Amino acid sequence: MNRVRVLSILVEDGQNTLTKIAGAVRRRGFHIRGLSIGPTREAGRSRITLEVDHGHAEADQVRKQLERLVEVVEVEDLTGDEVHSRELVVAKVDTSDLARLIQRGAKVISTDTDGTTVEFSGDRDEIFDFVEELARHGIVDVVRSGPLVMRRTV
């Protein structure tokens, strides 16, 4: 049975850091469902969020593998924790009837002759439902971010 694990990895910035992280995950044969990376408050460090499909035993293996990398400062498994989890969708739709999308929480970014660009954020399920709704409005283009996950309590 596959499970989704959420790993939060604090790393020292470097030219090959992401390549090394991806290599460690790939060597264990895990499927990465989502990935995001961004700067932290501390200069020279970034936080990588990985959503991977695998079982619990393997989660410990990949965590130990990642912790061995020089660039890795800390690895946290957030899977069972209370978290805020968000993704972002930016889409251009070919429609002038935006009421349903706006009702769902979309925000209009711009309107051009070739469509209207909207943004929407939510958890994985909300994003999936929103993209399904977009399909009914004629998607011209769509971009989706990876997961952003933060513990609710410290």
Closest CA to 66 of 148, 3, 9, 146: 9
**Residue after which a domain boundary falls, among 56, 77, 98:** 77
The tokens of 36 are what? 């995001």
pLDDT of residue 96: 65
**39 plus 99 within the same structural domain:** no
Q: What is the CATH number of the domain that holds 42?
A: 3.30.70.260
**Residue after which a domain boundary falls, among 77, 93, 116:** 77
Q: What is the CATH number of the domain that holds 97?
A: 3.30.70.1150
Would the pTM of this model clear 0.85, i.e. be above it? Answer: no
pLDDT tens for 78-108 read 988 899 999 999 999 877 668 888 888 999 9
Amino acid at 151: R
Between CA 44 and CA 75 the distance in angstroms is 17
Closest CA to 116 of 95, 143, 138: 95
**73 plus 89 within the same structural domain:** no
**14 plus 66 within the same structural domain:** yes
**Quick one: pLDDT band at residue 1, thresholds 50, 70, 90?**
very low
**Residue after which a domain boundary falls, among 77, 94, 116:** 77
**136 plus 96 within the same structural domain:** yes
pLDDT tens for 115-126 read 899 999 999 899
The tokens of 65 are what? 């593998």
Q: Give how many domains the chain has, as a whole number.
A: 2
**69 plus 88 within the same structural domain:** no
Q: Which structural domain range is residue 8 located in?
A: 4-77
